[in-house]
Structure 1
């Protein structure tokens, strides 16, 4: 069956957007907000998580994969963004409306779409789906590519960087929403920092708890959490909080301390006035996973199932933009190789 509740309203939102080949298009942030891209052949719909294109982090990384596919593969894209607090039906409707608009290859960005992808994929067996950050049975299907990452491994490296650079032996972690996925970031960060300095102090703060996902899009909450850590003595704070990370950078700038970005190389994407406080970023190559999915469909090599992008596969890494880790790069690369070689096994859940 198709999911049609609220379809008329959503269809209006999807059809109201013009087509453009520009990679800078952005959704309205509402369930019907979408943008189209010109091109021929394959048509790809992208359903963003809360924050949408322009969050300078997770969603923008996914958008970069779609933009590359538009440029290199000539695909046509349409985009729609989630809003905080929306119902499960709204996510299902968003996916179905992309399909009904002719975008029969769909990327769902974020684990919040797990159940919606599973249900809509089962109802549309001829449509190819990809979901980022979920490998659960909820989203599994013969037409679903589950794209996941070893966030713990990349976070280990930036945790080591934080400990190597901290003069106070006191660092922090701000998580957007307290879920098992974000705990992977925390676990890796903690393990990397303690590999360098077993006695380092690590503050941890989650901005919201499920089902409240506003922790990924609340700059004020991110700023307040980081301010508290800096005032308490931390001198490096890592965020895994999506759009809320902008507040962490603002707090770092005001305190004269350092911050660590996530998902994208945020020393390139954050506002210019805060880039100088970004020590490094844990790069999660969502763009690669999205592009690989689209290319596999175009090439006829699509395979369902969970595809894991880890350090060995080049799916996660740390950024060097700004030169702030140049003096410790050899140490970070040694940790990186030990993880790849299996000499270091990075935990996926926090120690405490």
Structure 2
């Protein structure tokens, strides 16, 4: 029995525990998150530590399925990747009656104990542990082997194990779409109440978080889409080395704007909030990622042309739904691309209506061409 195995492991003194508490943040329909006011608490067990934010309980009185959420570094409140993952769990709670708890590791070394604590816990037993982000891969390889009867799901990477359901996205396809949009708009005079293009720029910008093959897919797609619009366009790129450094994100984007870029796209989690700040100060445009950031970060809606929405919430919800229905997809790799609306170019809530219809028509056509295989999008810059 899973509970008996966990009890044995605990009595044997397995290292790596964290305090777990039922916790969620409330979200509205747009996916924006109310950042919790409680400070993170940290408990050390053995040689490893993990951090979790305690908020209000997620418990559902008659819940039969419990889920543990282990977020990427940067945590909740990034108005992007982690918040979208949490949104999927909230949707599952509201529609399927599950309960979930969540851990917010601060560093990559926290992933292993965070996953492990959920796997060891007996009150409640966690039916599914959702591991959000490619950086959790190595930790999950070890934990999936150690806890072979525990179900896990992983976003953005693949662990080949019968107890892991893997969800990956075609980020390069969605990034091609926003690159196509940026290339078309920077090649013409386009102005709104607060920002404008120069009309003859051939420079765009890309700000990445940590340089890794996954994030390079965003860059590669963006560059390909921009050149599809105008072969003379060059994309300046900068990797910050963190998904939670808005100050560095702002500095990188400001430098790009000063060098002639009208539009900067980011794939950098909370670091991207600094990109939006730079766009506002420079009177230029930005493109968001993962969530519709014109809604999740409305302070900058006048500068966000569009977002490359990556529906991590869909992956989380589908994994939980499969668990609830007794149809856990262990050992599988589920891919979400343009054809399933797993990724999509979503126009900003304020600026979308100002983008010329002729430009939107071209974006629609390139989407169809990618799905049909008429456009092949690279995955490496």
TM-score by length of 2: 0.83
Aligned twin of 2:116: 96
Following superposition of structure 1 onto structure 2, how do residues 136-151 of structure 1 map, counting pairs within 5 Å? 139-151=159-171
Q: Deviations over 1:188-209 (max 9, x none)?
A: 000000001000121111112x
Aligned twin of 1:178: 211
CA distance in 2, matches of 1:20, 1:222: 28
Q: CA deviation at 1:310?
A: 0.9
Which of 52, 59, 64 is the equivalent residue of 1:38?
59
Aligned twin of 1:221: 248
Q: CA deviation at 1:104?
A: 2.8
Structure 2 vs 1, CA of residues 123 and 326 (structure 1 numbering), >3 Å: closer, same or farther?
farther
The answer as to 2:282 corresponding to 1:282 is: no
Q: CA deviation at 1:326?
A: 5.3
Aligned twin of 2:257: 230
Q: Which runs of 5 or more structure 1 residues have no equivalent in the other structure?
A: 209-214
Aligned twin of 1:325: 355
User: Does the 8 A contact of 2:22 with 2:59 survive in 1?
Assistant: no
Q: Deviations over 1:46-88 (max 9, x none)?
A: 000111121101101111100100000000000001113x42x
Which of 1, 5, 14 is the equivalent residue of 2:15?
5
Q: Deviations over 1:214-259 (max 9, x none)?
A: x100000100000100011101000000000000000000000000
Aligned twin of 2:285: 258
CA RMSD of aligned residues (A): 1.9
CA distance in 1, matches of 2:23, 2:202: 51
CA distance in 1, matches of 2:208, 2:23: 36
Aligned twin of 1:212: none
Q: CA deviation at 1:19?
A: 5.2
Q: Give the structure with higher Rg (CA).
A: 2
Aligned twin of 1:301: 327
TM-score by length of 1: 0.89
Aligned twin of 1:239: 266
Structure 2 vs 1, CA of residues 177 and 296 (structure 1 numbering), >3 Å: closer, same or farther?
same
User: Does the 8 A contact of 2:173 with 2:343 survive in 1?
Assistant: yes
CA distance in 2, matches of 1:251, 1:20: 31
CA distance in 1, matches of 2:72, 2:335: 20
Higher mean alpha-carbon deviation, 336-345 vs 94-103, is at 94-103
Q: CA deviation at 1:300?
A: 1.4
Q: CA deviation at 1:21?
A: 8.5
CA distance in 2, matches of 1:207, 1:25: 24
Q: Which runs of 5 or more structure 2 residues have no equivalent in the other structure?
A: 28-33, 43-49, 187-198
Aligned twin of 2:30: none
CA distance in 1, matches of 2:86, 2:112: 20
Q: CA deviation at 1:22?
A: 4.4
CA distance in 2, matches of 1:153, 1:19: 34
Q: CA deviation at 1:294?
A: 0.4
